[in-house]
Each structure stands twice: as C-alpha cells, then as structure tokens.
Amino acid sequence: MILRILISVTIMLGAFTTQAQSNQNVWKTLSKITYKKQYDELMGFKIDIPVFSEPVQALSGQEIEIKGYIIPVEGYKSHKEFIFSAYPYNMCFFCGGAGPETVMEVQSAEPVEYTAEQIVLRGKLELNDSDINRLMYLMTEARLVKD
C-alpha cells in the first residue's frame, strides 16, 4: 500500500514539474522556426513565411500559459486586444533586436489592464503562416493568471 502511494506521489510530482517547465519554456519552443521565401501577389515581391517546427505545431490549438509583457500600441483602449512580448518594451521586436517569434497578438476574454511588469496569460495558441497583416502567433480566449 505504501509503495502505491509513493508511486502515485512520484507520478503527480513529475507531472507538475513537467507542466511548470513547459510553461517557462514556451517562448523557447516558439523560437523553433525557420522561414521560406514565397512570392506575394499583393506585395509584388517575395516575403518570408514562417515554417513552424514540430514542437511549435504541437502547441497549435492548445491552451498554453506564458509569461511576458504587454506592448502598448495605438488604440489600446479596450484592453482586450494587444501585443504580448517575451521581452519588455525597450527590447521587444518592434523596438529592439528581438525577432518576430517573440511577440503574439492577444484577444482576451476579459480586459487586461496595462502594466510594465511581467504578467502571465493563459489562452489558446493559433499559428499564422498565411496572413501577412497579422503576427505569426495569435492567442485567443486569453485570461490573466493571477499570482
């Protein structure tokens, strides 16, 4: 009986550890992409299209939990649609040297007030490799995870 309890506890702890590690490494996983050149009719020239690795594809449609920073953009009034970044404002894709794999568009279920501090969001991840007017990562049904 004690052996069964020990085995159960070990399995449960392993599951929590795996979940915690995956939550901390989501941005690292999302960085596992390459690009291919593809001609765009509207633009009239070749553009870079993301090619998502298998680990990234495995996250598509899944609920993820991710840490990051809200990037204030013009029109940030509803607090339900915003850009989320792995890095603070001064280091993000739009302002610093980070790549496009370090940001995502967010549509939240409830308003998320702006803060310059790191926050945690939970939502459904969608991959975008076809609409050049949007970011490659989209999070829908996002919710703020409170400490």
Structure tokens, 72: 């204030």
Q: Which helix (H) or strand (E) holds 137?
A: strand 137-145
**What CATH architecture does domain 2-31+61-145 belong to?**
Beta Barrel (2.40)
Structure tokens, 145: 């995870």
Q: Which residues contact 21 (CB under 8 A, 6 or more apart)?
A: none
Instruction: Return the exposure string of 114-128: e unless at least 16 CB atoms fall within 10 Å of the residue's CB, then b.
Output: eeeeebebebbbbbb
pLDDT digits (tens, 9 = 90+) for 56-106: 999 999 999 999 999 877 766 678 999 999 998 777 776 777 889 999 999
**pTM here?**
0.80
Given a contact cutoff of 8 angstroms between Cβ atoms, the answer to whether 103 and 83 are in contact is: yes
Cα–Cα dist 66/5, whole Å: 32
3-state secondary structure (DSSP) of residue 24: helix
Cα–Cα dist 33/29, whole Å: 9
pLDDT digits (tens, 9 = 90+) for 16-37: 434 443 555 899 999 999 999 9
Cα–Cα dist 87/83, whole Å: 11
Give me the residue spans of the domains in the chain. Answer: 2-31+61-145
pLDDT digits (tens, 9 = 90+) for 103-147: 999 999 899 998 999 999 999 999 999 999 999 999 999 999 987
